[in-house]
Structure 1
Amino acid sequence: MTNEKIIRKNPSNMPAPVGNYTHITRIPRNAELFVTSGQVGVDVNGQFPDTLNEQVTNTFNNIKTVLQSEGLHAEHIIKVNVWATEKIDWDYLYAEWDQLFQYDYPAMTIAYITELGLPDIKIEIEIWAAKP
């Protein structure tokens, strides 16, 4: 392994990000790569809450749990893919987002789609992480 760090930046010759993310993330050579399956809003009892915001909270709890299982932290996250089936309450999502990242934002892609893997799922978030 190397002592290099993950570097996040926004090139000065392009528009600033339109949300809480970074345009480019550089992973050092020989970093270990981790890719999660999409984490969803199911609670510890296997139940899906009715509202998107409740599912957002559960999804972030599940992300934290899966990261901790591998000794990973927010600074290791390099890419986030978000899929939602209904309009996201950005103030709510970014409150959870900022608790996790504390302004050290990864690259991010968001898409609205008609459905996810099960009818009760309203949001799914996939995490890519690297550990130098």
Structure 2
Amino acid sequence: MKKQRIYSAAVREPADKMWSNCLRIDELIMVSGMTARGKDRETVLGETSYEQAKVVFQKIKDLVEAAGAVMDDIVKMTIYVTDIGDNAEVWKARQEFFSGDFPACTLVEVSALAKPEILLEIEAIAVAGCSAD
């Protein structure tokens, strides 16, 4: 077994010795919590939960594909929202990125995220090659 750090030009990496955005261990792919922060890490892209969710799902897609998998290989997601009432907007965005069996998922409300304008954060676990195609 070997741990491999995965990079995507579309997703800015954190500062050294902070965390990894994505790791692959054999067929297992772990994606850290992604937010709608832009590449400058200051700007937040999207004013609604739907808009931010689309940005986040695209980042996850970029990382999962860089790891050699596809979105439908995601088996588990955890979604943190600052307003549980926004769940329908998050589900709407999610439907634009998945087909077939959707991943197991937990959605929880939290009191705050890294910046007040960040409305959600999503982490994912994938198993490369497990989707039904």
TM-score, scaled to structure 1: 0.66
What are the within-5 Å matches in structure 2 for residues 26-37 of structure 1?
32-37=27-32
Name the structure, 1 or 2, with higher relative contact order (CA <8 Å, separation 6+).
Answer: 1
Cross-structure match for 1:109? 106
Render the CA deviation track for 1:60-86: whole Å, top value 9, x for unaligned.
111111112112112211100000111
CA contact (8 A) 1:43 1:58 kept: no
Residues 108, 64 of structure 1: alpha-carbon distance in 2 compared, 3 angstrom cutoff: same
C-alpha RMSD of matched pairs (Å): 2.2
How big is each residue's C-alpha offset from its partner over 1:4-52, in whole Å with a ceiling of 9 and x where there is no partner?
xxxxxxxxxxxxxxxxxxxxxxxxxxx6211111011123454213332
TM-score, with normalisation over the residues of structure 2?
0.66
Could you say which residue in structure 2 is the equivalent of 1:52? 49
Find out whether 1:74 has 2:71 as its counterpart.
yes
Q: What is the SS of the residue equivalent to 1:38? A: strand
Q: Which runs of 5+ in 1 are unaligned?
A: 1-30
1:81-120: CA deviation from partner (whole Å, max 9, x where unpaired): 0001113434432232122211321111111010123333
Provide the rounded CA distance (Å) in 1 between the counterparts of 2:29 and 2:113: 23
Within the candidate set 40, 56, 64, 2:35 is matched to: 40
- Larger Cα Rg: Structure 1 or Structure 2? 1
Equivalent pairs counted in the alignment come to: 103
Alignment gaps of 5+ in structure 2: 1-25
